[in-house]
Structure 1
């Protein structure tokens, strides 16, 4: 089996599984059997993606032609194929049992595999036309997937909100792609976009770049397109988990693939950073007031995508890809375990009220929260990756800040020798692990480096906002003043205002 055949099969198997599920369901085939066949096909595709990744690492990019379409498996595409197909196989295996007997099981299987195949094609696209086609197809497949329970009013509202925001972002992408193709005289390879954009006047190139920013923000549920992701909670849990197998992460892929257009201008890169920073702070605040498990996970995802877009705006593309993959694996696992989380929170409600922490323990917690993360990350950088850029140092400082907030919050809940030892050990291990994996990704990936990026000093804005939010959240007693205003607005923003939306329940969540 040649390398080209491996790549084509890796992308084609999910699409074939989608077609088999759609046709088989329409002909009255066993939904459970079709789901198992589709899951096996994606599992085989994941095995092939492992082989493709090994070949790419050992011998470089693999090119494959499928008629007029040319695709390629470079290091970024290979890693994304592993992520998309691996998560899809696991989630569909979970869904075989989760949706057994559900009359919409066939719809889910067909839509999930269509989304998987389109996303795989997206990450391997090498030209403008192929990328735009795969992007639009993946968005359409997601809308089909969100309509799994299409008779529910809340599901209909979620599809409507998603359609509106995707339509705005995708229209901007189509306009930008058409403009670039007209200027280039036809379809053009993504790695040749730099030569095309350099011939344009600055106002035109900036306008094209800003048009490309819109679909990246919309697909990743970033401000001002943040409303669609929280409205998708009516979809079954496997759908929520599958969203993290490449859909909400597609914004970073677009920014990286179009780095030649975006990366040489300060305005679009700054817009990307500011949108990500605003979303990070906004979603972090909303998450604190959400009472339901899946709701908290959704806003946590928005915040994490905000951090990813911040990294893209800073030009730290390798860090963005590392965060993309780590977040996808972590959050998909949390969604699949949402039922367990419900039971765990029910048990925690019966725990005794925590004891007050003495002032000396507060001071000690704050000192440890400052010293441990900063010291661990500094030592890890010096020993594992001594050659760092200013952007990397800025991101590490931001990670140290968030790690410090986490450690400080944990110690303020219960300050004891055991919690101190566990907290310090965990933060230190995470610091070294983060640095080590980041160094590995630096050696594997060589994305186009931006000529101009947002200033690392802008990280002070979200950092200050997050610290202020944490201080407001940690105040004892009923909120007052600014805290009351923030709480009220955060609570109000979580309420869907559509007249067609009615309280609904995911029956699978209730019975699981």
Structure 2
């Protein structure tokens, strides 16, 4: 991981078996039962198209069903994986209880209609995750990371609770559905206070710049907890914005602000990938980038696209974290590095991006008109192109094979994304303001130019010419010093 080889003799570790902990067995069975229930809820919701209500307390609509299916599936995978991973841990029962409690908290957030229930579940979600981050209490660094993230999540919960209390007072109702139905009657001053509170709570929870340091300081968490954090917890910001979209979706300045905030975090997270050598913090930088893109999609008015994105990101990031041990090799990096961009590959890549964008427009209808959908289609195509080129660079294919594979790796994922987007959008049909595209503006053009410039800078190697830029990004990506494990002895002593 440091880039230096070691002469340590290989040691064959004994094979472990799933733990016999009763708590782990019970919670694993329970979470898979919740997944089955969530799938049934989604099927019934898709067929009936109406929400189920416990008046004044709970609403189970399309957004609830989609979030329930995603979070219970990821949690089920983490529970099953952890039965072997956590075998022999002295605090294994506490770990499984917290993981299951976190799952329940997210499910309540997705379904809560009473503002007090929503705020309490949001806070519980943060506190259980902070406890998981500080799970290894014998590590000074883990205790520090747990305390740091707890402060962030308490701040997020406090801001959200205050915002919901303000909205309840202004609208005269204590239910989320009631607030949303009366959002257009709010005075402008209160609307902006509510928008600021919702945006701030979402930014903290989703680790957007400048609140990204809690995520980069959370690497003391057991790997399964990190997988659940990156696949589920950080997505809460997008869920919050999708649920409360009627409060701000008609305010063009607020939507433009979301686009700028999301774009800045997306570009910063991608830059972190260029400077961090350690596997888990590179994955952290990737999450910052993906959450920025998710929030950007909310700013464009495509909340269904944001929910689709968080589902796909959850699958991708859960896989990467749970398989991260196999990617860590204490060997020197291969000589050479990434090959330079040739003219044929650049032409083929751009043509594939254009074709992929056309496929996205054809499948979803987004981008067919000159509104924020055009920027969404452009960013989807550019992101797919960048991911495809990165994957091919790691595969070390011949130039000819790269030219053949590149269009496939660009167009096929975009087609899959488009199909899933349509499915999620159909599920969210009855959810207020899940489709509210905005007019194309100078902000959108500037963001498109920034993404294109960043892509070209990375592909052509321009970013390597500035030592100052490298230093700035490296400093921004530093975790809190008290949370960092700096030597192997820190791990071995624990």
Q: How does 1:419-438 map to 2 (within 5 A)?
A: 419-438=402-421
Deviation at residue 410 of structure 1 after TM alignment: 6.4
Shift of the 387–227 alpha-carbon distance from structure 1 to 2, 3 Å rule, reads closer
Q: Which residue of 1 aligns with 2:343?
A: 363
Q: Which residue of 2 aligns with 1:172?
A: 159
Q: Deviations over 1:227-250 (max 9, x none)?
A: 111111011100101113431001
Deviation at residue 301 of structure 1 after TM alignment: 0.6
Matched, 1:241 2:222: no
Q: Deviations over 1:316-357 (max 9, x none)?
A: 1010010011101111111000011114xx57x564536966
Cα distance between partner residues in 2 of 1:113 and 1:197? 34
Contact 2:275 2:470 (8 Å CA) reproduced: yes
Q: Which residue of 2 aligns with 1:193?
A: 179
Task: Report the 3-state secondary structure (helix = DSSP H, G, I; strand = E; otherwise coil) of the residue aligned with 2:87.
Answer: coil
Q: Which residue of 2 aligns with 1:215?
A: 201
Cα distance between partner residues in 1 of 2:85 and 2:180? 47
Out of 377, 387, 408, the position equivalent to 2:357 is 377
Q: How does 1:32-111 map to 2 (within 5 A)?
A: 32-65=21-54, 70-111=57-98
Cα distance between partner residues in 2 of 1:506 and 1:399? 43
Cα distance between partner residues in 2 of 1:214 and 1:79? 24
Cα distance between partner residues in 2 of 1:50 and 1:381? 29
Cα distance between partner residues in 2 of 1:427 and 1:182? 49
Cα distance between partner residues in 1 of 2:390 and 2:27? 44
Out of 416, 431, 448, the position equivalent to 2:432 is 448
Matched, 1:465 2:446: no
Deviation at residue 43 of structure 1 after TM alignment: 1.0
Task: Report the 3-state secondary structure (helix = DSSP H, G, I; strand = E; otherwise coil) of the residue aligned with 1:264.
Answer: coil
Shift of the 289–407 alpha-carbon distance from structure 1 to 2, 3 Å rule, reads same
- Identify the range of structure 1 (231-240 vs 483-492) with the bigger mean alpha-carbon deviation: 483-492
Shift of the 74–363 alpha-carbon distance from structure 1 to 2, 3 Å rule, reads same
- Identify the range of structure 1 (126-135 vs 36-45) with the bigger mean alpha-carbon deviation: 126-135
- Identify the range of structure 1 (50-59 vs 379-388) with the bigger mean alpha-carbon deviation: 379-388
Cα distance between partner residues in 1 of 2:155 and 2:223? 27
Cα distance between partner residues in 2 of 1:176 and 1:373? 41
TM-score by length of 1: 0.84
Q: Relative contact order: is structure 1 or structure 2 higher (C-alpha 8 Å, sep ≥ 6)?
A: 2
Q: Which residue of 1 aligns with 2:141?
A: 154
Out of 279, 301, 321, the position equivalent to 2:287 is 301
Shift of the 88–218 alpha-carbon distance from structure 1 to 2, 3 Å rule, reads same
Runs of 5+ consecutive residues of structure 2 not aligned to the other structure = 1-18
Shift of the 105–351 alpha-carbon distance from structure 1 to 2, 3 Å rule, reads same
Contact 1:312 1:320 (8 Å CA) reproduced: yes
Contact 1:84 1:246 (8 Å CA) reproduced: yes
Q: Which residue of 1 aligns with 2:14?
A: none
Shift of the 288–463 alpha-carbon distance from structure 1 to 2, 3 Å rule, reads farther
Shift of the 387–163 alpha-carbon distance from structure 1 to 2, 3 Å rule, reads closer
Q: Deviations over 1:111-144 (max 9, x none)?
A: 1011000101110112322221211121121122
Q: Which residue of 1 aligns with 2:381?
A: 400
Shift of the 153–49 alpha-carbon distance from structure 1 to 2, 3 Å rule, reads same
- Identify the range of structure 1 (133-142 vs 434-443) with the bigger mean alpha-carbon deviation: 434-443
Q: Which residue of 1 aligns with 2:11?
A: none
Cα distance between partner residues in 2 of 1:433 and 1:364? 26
Which aligned runs of 4 or more in structure 1 are off by greater than 6 angstroms?
410-413
